[in-house]
Amino acid sequence: MAEKRRKLVIATGNTGKLREYRELLASAGLELIAFDTEIDEVGETYTENARLKAETAVERSGLPALGDDSGVEVEALEGFPGIRSARLGPTQEERTAELLKRLEGKPRPWNARFVCVLALADPGHPTQFFEGECRGEIVPEWRGEAGFGYDPVFLVPGTGKTFGEMRLEEKRLYSHRARAVRALLESGALGRLSV
């Protein structure tokens, strides 16, 4: 009989993130289950918010869960929007436009970094954290239709492309999320899940 795959909840309501996790964890041999906790992100750090998402999903599902809190930090805006990246406006288009508006008139390059903190919560075990970053530059023109969020205005140094111009397989070579997932996979934690 085929061995039953272990289940891992991906605690997100963001379809762009979910698509990336399905790709990044494809080789991990797990059954991935999407679950949007819809919690208020009341934490003051990526770590606190990632923990909230993952632990809430564990409480409600009884299964191990991964929470992702991420954002873009722009040097000329002293790290803004950071953990508030999802709250700059009602739609992503308005959020990106708002970010560009705040940068208007500031000298370029608009250096920035994407940050991703992953929390792995497992019933009966302390929650573990993994982090990844990707340095780049915000550009004023929107380029490409791929990805999600601020991808069309985030230029990756040395590639001449924004994340909006990269397919998933290319974005994963550079992305903050891919780096956090690599740290998670290298830790061996997914092989020790309790359920």
Binding site for ligand ITT (CB under 6 A): 12-14, 17, 36, 41, 53, 68-72, 85-86, 114, 147-151, 163, 175, 177
Q: Which is nearer to ligand ITT, 47 or 70 (CB)?
A: 70
Point out the catalytic residue in the list 68, 69, 122, 151.
Answer: 69
Per the annotation, the verdict on 69 as an active-site residue is yes
| b (16+ CB within 10 A) / e for 77-113 | beebbbbebbebeeebeebbeebbeebeeeeeebebb
Q: Shortest Cβ distance from residue 4 to ligand ITT (Å)?
A: 27
Instruction: Please classify residue 74 by burial: count the beta carbons closer than 10 Å to its beta carbon, then call 0-12 exposed, 13-18 middle and 19+ buried.
Output: buried
Instruction: Evaluate the CA torsion angle 72, 76, 79, 84 in order and state its sign.
Output: negative
Q: Which is nearer to ligand ITT, 3 or 49 (CB)?
A: 49
Q: Shortest Cβ distance from residue 1 to ligand ITT (Å)?
A: 35
Contact by Cβ (8 Å): 168, 143: no
Q: Which residue is nearest to ligand ITT (CB)?
A: 149
Q: Shortest Cβ distance from residue 53 to ligand ITT (Å)?
A: 6
* Residue 177 structure tokens: 């999320």
Q: Which is nearer to ligand ITT, 47 or 175 (CB)?
A: 175
Residues involved in catalysis = 69
